[in-house]
Amino acid sequence: MCRCAKAEFEAVGPPILTGSCYCTSCQEAGRQFEQLASAPPVLDPDSGTGMILYRKDRVQCVMRHQYLEEHRLKPDSPTRRVIAKCCNSAMFLDFTREHWLSMFWNRFPAGAPPLEMWVMTKARRVGVRLADDLPNYGAHSGKFMLKLIAAWMAMGFRRPEITWGKTVRGRSKPRYICVCGQVHTGVPHMASSTPLWASSSAIRMNPAGGLRADPLI
């Protein structure tokens, strides 16, 4: 759920995995989101982005999807990050060519599962030292990839399309709805050009509520 509780998601079943990503793309996106008016934090103090990865067929937007708006670091990027523009809460990261959603861990209730690993740590901010209580991977681990493949197999190798927050595109140049409410042509609002935990029942994202990601989280 977004911070102001207008946009709400629901997921069923356990997540694929949880983790924190330190890639440069997640750090840049987090900084840009945090500069939006009244936006809640995205990055952790150590520059990581906590995420919970869910199968796309197990997540639903159950309330006010019209508040969702995508942002991309580059106009032609296949990766989009979606915020709830009602309060500028970062909601999820969508690798459009893949089968999972990376939900921002900060948007979950206090009972969300703990992080399982740190990934892409080679790109973490200079001077950051990570504790030794979690597996630390400079890139992506074999465990990370195997879990994603197992989830894809369970989905019958499908890649459902997620349309929440899709931009309006014209005949020639893409048009982006800015958080200010105006429609712009060409470069998206982001400056460089945008899995819920549950047990056997559904769980909703926390209004008071963020994993880190690179091109795979």
- Domain residues of the chain, as ranges? 8-204
Is 90 within 8 Å of 50 (Cβ atoms)? no
Q: What is the pLDDT of residues 154-197, one digit of tens each?
A: 999 999 999 999 875 543 344 444 444 444 444 444 443 333 33
- Band of residue 64 on the pLDDT scale cut at 50, 70, 90: confident
Quote the CA–CA distance of 183 and 27 in Å, as a whole number.
26
Q: What is the pLDDT of residues 102-133, one digit of tens each?
A: 999 988 877 788 999 999 999 999 999 998 89
Quote the CA–CA distance of 84 and 8 in Å, as a whole number.
9
Record the pTM. Answer: 0.76
Is 42 within 8 Å of 140 (Cβ atoms)? no
CA distances from 133 to 38, 39, 67, 114 (A): 33, 30, 38, 12
CATH class of this structure's domain 8-204: mainly beta
CA distances from 181 to 1, 36, 167, 178, 196 (A): 21, 13, 13, 5, 29
Q: What is the pLDDT of residues 28-56, one digit of tens each?
A: 999 999 999 999 999 999 999 999 999 99
Q: Residue 46 is encoded by which pair of tokens?
A: 């150590």
